[in-house]
Amino acid sequence: MNIIELEKINKEYYTKDGSFTALKDITFCIQEGECVILRGISGSGKTTLLSILAGLDRPTSGKITVDGEDIAKLPDIHLSHFRGHHIGMVFQHYNLLEHLSVTENIITPLIPMKITPQEAYKRAKEKMEIANISHKADMDTNRLSGGEKQRVAIARALIADPKIILCDEPTANLDRANAKRFTDIIKKLIDIGKTVVIATHDPLFWESDLDIRIIDIEDAKIVADSKVEV
């Protein structure tokens, strides 16, 4: 089943120097449970594409369906609700609240939802186990190492049980040992049925033992799409 469908997605940015095409005629589908790498050099359009998949930005034209919902047409208020329940995002700089504890950071996405504190803490425990960060549950996040901060960001992305996890340059700020641990967590997520999309140019992913599909982006366009099986 296709969980994500993009049809002729275009994104133009309008600046004082004129318009700039960041995505051109992007068409592809992602099946539920796939691990997809968006690969391309700096400026090729990876973050723009992830933002559109996440519903954080809207395409200039084209159709995007995520889990059966035509998200380009959803009004902002419904879009943020949709995102909260369907999408988990791991940002390059993690975007954690530094003076809150690991557990507090992880449960923040649940605040707008009608979930009891008991249930929120139970879920946080579960997600911390998946992300291997349970041993730091009560520590303030400003004391954590880069790899640990990222694992908090992963647990937070999982807290509302979204089907889709999007990661932007997840290993850019990690040493190799932590980057490898990240790919191990991604493997766990695929094993529990999540759909994962990662924007990266880190060879670690295509040299790892993950079953991945690589979509190559160059100058705002898809130039290749291939499956790498191990």
Told to check if 171 binds Mg ion by CB under 5 A, we report: no
Q: Which is nearer to ligand ATP, 51 or 183 (CB)?
A: 51
Based on the shown chain and the rule CB under 6 A, indicate whether residue 162 belongs to the binding site for ligand ATP: no
Taking CB under 6 A as the criterion, the residue among 4, 30, 39, 47 binding ligand ATP is 47
Closest CA to 79 of 60, 106, 51, 105: 51
47 sits near Mg ion (criterion: CB under 5 A):
yes
224 binds ligand ATP (CB under 6 A): no
Could you tell me the CA-to-CA distances from 161 to 85, 97, 158, 201 in Å, in that order?
7, 21, 5, 27
In terms of DSSP H, where are the helices of the chain? 46-54, 76-86, 102-107, 117-130, 146-158, 176-191, 204-207
Biggest CA–CA distance in the chain, Å, is 53
Residue 44 vs 183, nearer CB to ligand ATP: 44
Determine which residue in the list 26, 34, 36, 45 makes contact with ligand ATP, applying CB under 6 A. Answer: 45
Is 22 a binding residue for ligand ATP by CB under 6 A? The answer is: yes
The reply to whether 200 sits near Mg ion by the rule CB under 5 A is no
Instruction: Please choose, from the candidates 204, 149, 191, 147, the residue with its C-alpha nearest in 3D space to the C-alpha of residue 214.
Output: 204
**Closest distance to ligand ATP from the beta carbon of 49 (Å):** 7
